[in-house]
Structure 1
């Protein structure tokens, strides 16, 4: 299938969204299984921005939500993250995280979904804030990228502007929760699966949507 024929999908996520972390493995498996026919872009949604960019302790529902996420997806949360949650001082700033995603995905040869997953491991496994350049230098090394180039991109006004553009794109798509996987066809935009969907369920949903669109 040529690039012009690829099925277009958008993944709206937030690096500080636990449900996105839980959804990640299934989405990765789905993307790998359908790599020859899909084109997937990853956009940051801006869950914790402005007055919502607060220390994690300001969100007391999070531990209970994490238990539910583990129950439904099987994902586990790391010791570093549990310590950060207990300490409560890390500020979840989605604008910083979105800028970090831009800095990573803008490098040559990067898979944006891999970059998003690496960021979520930094927080949900290691408990590292996504607001400082140091974490992106380390993620760059993990992803085989130029650490200084990534750090420079993270600090650039252009990356911050692109992150803000992500937020605008997500709002234009009428996304009201995360994770959201969207399928774009000639007939419009459809939601694909949900946060507890398996890779097989996502592939079946994709096939059903495409069959319906073809028949329409």
Structure 2
């Protein structure tokens, strides 16, 4: 069995689920984890953030329920409203710089045709697994797929669902 974590880089709920995922992984170091990008903001959903009028309210709810924090830079993007969330073009330059990596090399890798193919593969994998929202945590055992969390869950809730599979 393996865990499959479907997320989107621009999904606030995915951000809020991160501590739960870390805890689940630490409790189950024997379970491999596959992380796949869902492509929440692709096609017709690739629009300026102001068109998602619920973002500020959703972020407040996410923070209240998960203790996730959203930074000042993100708040400025929402207030401005012109930023276009694009799951196929998320930039990781700042993350790479903060991690001490060669940011130019990371950006070049993400802009390569291979990266586009990998993203499309992830989007297809999510669809094949029946993922309809983010984040989703699945237990995959051969052809059997069981949802352990959709949107949010505690590590204890995930553990109970995992135990029920045994």
TM-score, normalised to structure 2, is: 0.91
Quote the residue 1:168 is aligned against: 124
Determine if contact 1:22/1:74 at 8 Å carries over to the other structure: yes
The answer to whether residue 37 in structure 2 is matched with residue 81 in structure 1 is: no
The answer to whether residue 12 in structure 2 is matched with residue 9 in structure 1 is: no
The answer to whether residue 3 in structure 2 is matched with residue 18 in structure 1 is: no
Match of 1:40 among 33, 56, 62: 33
Determine if contact 2:133/2:150 at 8 Å carries over to the other structure: no
Tell me the distance in 1 between the aligned counterparts of 2:94 and 2:79.
Answer: 24
The answer to whether residue 21 in structure 2 is matched with residue 27 in structure 1 is: yes
Determine if contact 2:41/2:85 at 8 Å carries over to the other structure: yes
- Return 5+ residue gaps in structure 2 as ranges: none
Determine if contact 1:22/1:195 at 8 Å carries over to the other structure: no
Match of 1:154 among 107, 110, 114: 110
Q: For the aligned residues, what is the CA RMSD?
A: 1.6
> CA offset at residue 72 of structure 1?
1.6
Tell me the distance in 2 between the aligned counterparts of 1:79 and 1:138.
Answer: 14
Report Cα offsets for 1:148-190 as digits up to 9, x if no partner. Answer: 3312211211111110111011111111111100101246100
The answer to whether residue 145 in structure 2 is matched with residue 193 in structure 1 is: no
Moved more, 26-35 or 187-196: 187-196
Question: What are the residue-to-residue correspondences of 1:27-176 with 2, within 5 Å?
Answer: 27-35=21-29, 37-97=30-90, 130=91, 136-176=92-132
- Paired residue secondary structure (2:89): helix
Task: Select the structure that is richer in helix.
Answer: 1
Match of 1:207 among 158, 163, 166: 163
Quote the residue 2:133 is aligned against: 177
1 or 2 for the larger relative contact order (CA 8 Å, sep ≥6)? 2
Tell me the distance in 1 between the aligned counterparts of 2:69 and 2:34.
Answer: 26
- Paired residue secondary structure (1:11): strand
